[in-house]
Amino acid sequence: MDNNKSFNSTAILASGQRTIFAEADALNQLGHRLADDFVDAAQLILNCPGRVVVMGLGKSGHIGRKIAATLASTGTPAFFVHSAEALHGDLGMVTGNDLVLAISYSGQSLEFSTILPVVKRLGTKIIAISGSSTSDLAKLCDVFLDGSIQREACPLNLAPTTSTTVALALGDALAIACLEAREFGASDFALSHPGGALGRRLLTHVQDVMRSGDALPIVSPELLLPEVLEVMSAKTLGMTIISNDQNEPIGIFTDGDLRRLITQQGDIRHLKIKDVMSLHPKTIHFRAMAVDAATLMEQNKLSQIIVVDDAKHLIGALHMHDLMTAKVI
């Protein structure tokens, strides 16, 4: 190996393109040869009462970790067990209710040849992803998924490149097929990602971020504007809510309304809030998703929105800043 060889940008670009095209071609071939064995594998996963235990060694192990993570985050309980560690105690994690997904391109892994007969005695079903349909792994499994390739992208045909891409794609295909079969939705996905931005968007309800109780600027319709402005200033929500005797919101008056009113009339001290409030204010249910509140506010160019319960009674208010603070938007 010559580390001092001159840098050839054209050759490097051509090499990168060859690798990507080679792997893309292998994936295209894989897609066309998917058949009933893939359906059988998906059905085993969907019917599994336990967890999918993904196993692999070396590069196949790295791919296995990713597949297990993808399955777990898309509705299929799964975890990864290193094949070598399974020989020394970790096989105890596997039960008869589980399903093993074994990954080995050669299918001749000594670890699998030792482990899988024990797994079968537990009654555990086995799916294999391998490049050899005549391997020991293929003979031991219940469903064989063909991960064979014509050659690796590596010019030496040695480094696992195309073969690992194909194995990963098969794992992704299984995960997504099961996701769709279960009708696994965005809210389900968020439950396994509560700490991320997606989780905050899909798990936060209006009631989690709304202002309520003494923080609400609520006035009666007969109040004069100077008194209304005192309430608005004290509550710092940029508006006040006008409610009737049944605690139903019948109007809203915002900072913007105040500026426009002063421009039009000058002296506003004699006015009652019922005469200048905006009728039929927009409301949202307290159990609605916070992200839906943000959408409604954006569509109607609102900075604030009133929150109501099942009986349409006033229970809270939401400012766009509250959604920003909660990182919903």
Q: What is the pLDDT of residues 85-104, one digit of tens each?
A: 988 889 999 999 999 999 99
Same domain, 136 and 71: yes
Distance CA 292, CA 205 (A): 9
Confidence of residue 286 (pLDDT cuts 50, 70, 90): very high
Per-residue pLDDT at 49: 95
Domain assignment of residue 162, yes or no: yes
Distance CA 152, CA 177 (A): 27
Domain assignment of residue 45, yes or no: yes
Same domain, 31 and 105: yes
Per-residue pLDDT at 7: 78
Distance CA 235, CA 202 (A): 29
The model carries a pTM of 0.69
- Domain extent, residue 238, equals 203-325
> Is residue 2 predicted with pLDDT exceeding 70?
no
Number of Cβ atoms within 10 Å of the Cβ of 218: 15
pLDDT digits (tens, 9 = 90+) for 260-283: 999 988 888 899 999 999 999 999
- Contact 222/274 with Cβ under 8 angstroms? yes
Same domain, 112 and 32: yes
Per-residue pLDDT at 190: 67
Domain assignment of residue 74, yes or no: yes
Using alpha carbons only, give the angle 313, 316, 317 rounded to the nearest 5 degrees.
125
Rounded mean pLDDT, 46-64: 96
Distance CA 29, CA 227 (A): 75
State how far Cα 262 lies from the chain centre: 48
Residues 6+ positions from 153 with CB-CB distance below 8 Å: 18, 19, 22, 23, 161, 162
Distance CA 206, CA 307 (A): 8
pLDDT digits (tens, 9 = 90+) for 247-260: 999 999 999 999 99
Rounded mean pLDDT, 274-302: 94
Rounded mean pLDDT, 199-203: 74
Same domain, 136 and 18: yes
> Is residue 199 predicted with pLDDT exceeding 90?
no
Rounded mean pLDDT, 304-308: 96
Q: Average pLDDT of the chain?
A: 92
> Is residue 240 predicted with pLDDT exceeding 70?
yes
Task: Answer with the one of 135, 154, 184 that is the final residue of a domain.
Answer: 184
Domain assignment of residue 197, yes or no: no
